[in-house]
Amino acid sequence: MIQSFFSGLYEMVLGRPIPANFTNDYREVVFPNTGLMLFIITLGIVILYYYVLNRLMSTGLYKTQHWVMFLILNAIIAFIIPVTQVTGNEIETHSYTYMFAFVNVVYSLILFFVFSLLLKRGSVQAWTTPMKWPNKK
Amino acid sequence: MFNKKIETNLLVLLLCCGLLLSGCFKKQSREAEDEPEIATTGGQSRGTDTPAPPTAAATPEKVDVHVYLEISNGMKGFMPAAAAGKEATTFQNNLLNLISEVQDGRYVAEKGFYLAKEDARSRPVLDSVSYNTMKSYIVSGIRDDVRGTPLPAMLKAALQNSIDQGAVSIIISDFIHGPSDQGQFISLDADIRSSLREAEHQGLAIAILGNTSEFFGTYHPAVKKPEVSRRLNGEEIPYYIWVIGKQEEVQVVTNRVLRNLPSQQAYFGFEYEAVPHAALLKEKEFRPSGIVYCSSRNADPCTEISLQPAKQEPVEFTVGLDLSSLPMSMQRTDYLKRNLQVSSTGSRASMVAVTAADESIKAIPGLARYSHFVRVRVPELTASSGSISVQLPQVTPTWINAWSTDNDNNPAADPKKTYQLIKIIDGVQALYRDQSDFVFKATIQFNKAD
C-alpha cells in the first residue's frame, strides 16, 4: 500500500525508474523510504520550529526569514536522502536519480508549507509566520 | 544577550536535527537490513533446492570400465607389428593411452578388457583378456584371423555384458560392417537400433568419438567392387570409440579417462534436467536495455522477469548458463552459436549472441557460476505473461555426414570415410527419438511490466 502510494507519487512526475533494471529497488525500497522520511522529517522540523523554538523555548526565531531558513534546511535534507538511498542500495546513479532528488525537494517545499499552515496556530511567537492567513486574531 | 540566546538556540536546533536525522537513518538502515534478510533466506532455500538435483546425480568419483577392442582382419592395419625405426600409428598411441588410463588411472574402479571377434558361424565372441594381452595386441598386431564384423551383434553382446556388470563400455572399432549376409546392409539402421535397445531401456547414453589413424596393411572395404581388399600404406582410415553407459559415467570416461578427445564427437541420449541459469539484469558487464527487471528484487538466481518492450526500445538482456557439465564439444561457443535456440511463448524472442565466460568474468563472484552468456532480444510481447527458453536441441553433428560414404572401396581417393556411417548413426538416433528433443532447456518466466 505505502509502497505503491509513494511509487505512484514519484513516478507520476518522473516516469519509470531509469535504469529500468532497478525498477523494483526503486519501487520497493527507495521510493517508500524516501517518501516516509520526507514526511517524518518535514513534520519534525515544522514541529521543532513552531512548538519547540517558538513556544517552549521562545528563541525569537519567529521572522519569515527564519522560517525560510528552516524551509531550506528541510529542502537540503530532502535532496540528500534520495541520493544516499540510491547509492546505499547499490543502484546505479543516473540523471534520473538527481531528477528524483529534485522532485523530492519540490515535495519537501510543498509539504513544509502545508504543515506550517496546519500547525502554526499552536505556536505562541510564530503563529503569523510565514503569514497571518488563515489564522484570525 | 539576544544574540547569545539565538546562538545557543541554534546549537540546540542543530543538535535536535542531528538526533532526528540519525534516528531516521537508523530506521532506514534497519529497514534495509530486514528486507534482504527475508529475501536471502528465500534465496538460500531456493539455492539449496536447485543445485540439489545436480549434486544428487553428481559425477561419480570412479567408474567401472570395460574396454572392447575389435580384432577382425580389418583392424590389423591400425596395429602394425612394431619394428625399430617405425613410428607407432595414431591408433596405437591413443589406444595405449586409453588402456593404460583404464588400467592405472584413478578414475577407474573395476576394469575389464575384451577382444571382440566372431566365431565360425559369425556370432560375436568376447574374449576376456588381461591388460597385458590387450597391450600386446595393440603394439605387436593381431595374429588371429577373424573374417568379418557383425556390427550390430557385436554391439549387442558388448553392451549386454557391460549392463550385467554395471560397467561403462568403451568399444573401439572401425565400424565397417561386415555381415555374412549382404542384405543386412539395407537394414543396418534398424539392426543397430535393436542391438542397442537395451541401452535406451536402461537409460544409458552413448558418446561416439571419431578419429583417424594411419593404416598399414590390408584394408577390407564394405563395398567389394572393384577391389575386394586393398593394401594401404599410411592412408588415414577412421576408427571410432563408442562409450556407452550412464550419462554421468560416460562423462567421467570422456573427460577424465580419454581426456584428449578428437574434435569429431557425437552424443546421444544426453539430457540435463536442471542447467543452472538466471537472467542477469543488474550486472554491469551485461547491461540490459529497454524496460526489463527482475520480478522479485532479491531473487538469486533471477528466473522471473518483468519486461515491456517498446517499438523504439526493444528489450535486450543476458541469460547466464552453467553448461560446465555438458560434453566439451557442446560447450564450444561456435557450436552453441549454431545450435542454441531461443523460443518463447507470449513474446517474439530471438538470440543475439552467445559468449563464453572469460577470465575477467570468472573473477566476478556473482558471475563465476556461469560458463556461458546468451543475449536475448525481445522486440515484442504477444501476451501479458509467458516464458522465454534458451534450449539446445539434440542435433546430429555435421561431421557425421562428412564422414559417411556409400562407397568406401578406395580410401586413398576418398579418405576419412566410413561406409554408411549415417545409417549407423540413424539407428542410434532412432533409439532416443522419443526422448526429450533438447539437451537442456533453461526457462525464464516473464510478466508484462506494469
Tens-digit pLDDT string for chain B (450 aa): 445 555 555 555 555 444 444 444 433 443 444 444 333 333 333 333 333 344 345 677 889 999 999 988 888 889 988 777 778 889 999 999 999 999 998 999 999 999 988 887 778 888 899 999 999 999 888 888 887 677 888 889 989 988 999 999 999 998 888 776 777 788 888 888 898 988 888 889 999 999 999 999 888 888 888 888 888 888 899 999 999 999 999 989 998 888 788 889 999 989 898 899 999 998 888 999 999 999 888 878 899 999 999 988 899 999 999 998 888 888 889 999 999 999 999 999 999 999 999 998 899 888 999 999 999 999 999 999 999 999 999 888 889 999 999 888 888 888 888 998 998 898 898 888 887 789 999 999 999 987
Grid cell, residue B355, equals: 559468449
What is the pLDDT, as a whole number, of residue B14? 54
Asked whether the beta carbons of residue A52 and residue B16 sit closer than 8 angstroms, the reply is: yes
Q: Which of A22, A60, A88 sits opposite B6 (nearest CB)?
A: A60
Grid cell, residue B7, equals: 546562538
Strand partners of residue B380: B348
**Nearest C-alpha of chain B: how many angstroms from A52?**
9
**Nearest C-alpha of chain A: how many angstroms from B351?**
20
What is the pLDDT, as a whole number, of residue A125? 87
Q: Which helix (H) or strand (E) holds B353?
A: strand B347-356
The sheet with strand B277-280 has its strands ordered as B277-280, B315-321, B372-381, B347-356
Burial of B311 (0-12, 13-18, 19+ CB in 10 A): exposed
Other Cβ atoms less than 10 A from the Cβ of B343: the count is: 16
Residue B6 contacts A, CB cutoff 8 Å:
yes
Burial of A113 (0-12, 13-18, 19+ CB in 10 A): middle
Q: Give the SS3 label for residue B133.
A: helix
Closest chain B CA to residue A77? B21
Cβ atoms B180, B384 nearer than 8 A: no
Chain A interface, Cβ < 8 Å to B: 16, 19-25, 28-29, 33, 37, 40-41, 44-45, 48, 52-53, 57, 59-61, 73, 77, 85, 88-89, 92
Residue B24 contacts A, CB cutoff 8 Å:
yes
Grid cell, residue A26, equals: 526503486
**Chain B residues whose beta carbon lies within 8 Å of the beta carbon of residue A61:** 6, 9
**Nearest C-alpha of chain B: how many angstroms from A12?**
13
Asked whether the beta carbons of residue A23 and residue B291 sit closer than 8 angstroms, the reply is: yes
Find, among B325, B411, B318, the residue nearest to B367 by Cα.
B318
What ipTM, to 2 d.p.? 0.81
**Chain B residues whose beta carbon lies within 8 Å of the beta carbon of residue A57:** 9, 12
d(CA B352, CA B319): 11
**Nearest C-alpha of chain B: how many angstroms from A37?**
7
**Nearest C-alpha of chain A: how many angstroms from B306?**
9
Q: Which of B6, B13, B306 sits opposite A48 (nearest CB)?
A: B13
pLDDT < 70 positions in chain A? 137
Grid cell, residue A23, equals: 525498477
d(CA A125, CA B26): 33
Domains and CATH numbers, chain B: 63-270 (no CATH), 273-393+439-448 (2.60.40)
Cβ atoms B242, B418 nearer than 8 A: no
DSSP string spanning B159-222? HHHHHHHT-EEEEEE------SSGGGGTTHHHHHHHHTHHHHHTT-EEEEEEEEEEEEEEE--S
Asked whether the beta carbons of residue B21 and residue A41 sit closer than 8 angstroms, the reply is: yes
Cβ atoms B139, B69 nearer than 8 A: no
Q: Which of A33, A41, A60 sits opposite B31 (nearest CB)?
A: A33
Grid cell, residue B340, equals: 542454441
Q: How far is the CA of A91 from the CAs of A19, A24, A29, A78, B368, in angstroms?
A: 9, 11, 11, 18, 21
d(CA B402, CA B411): 14
**Chain A residues whose beta carbon lies within 8 Å of the beta carbon of residue B35:** 28-29
**Nearest C-alpha of chain A: how many angstroms from B200?**
45
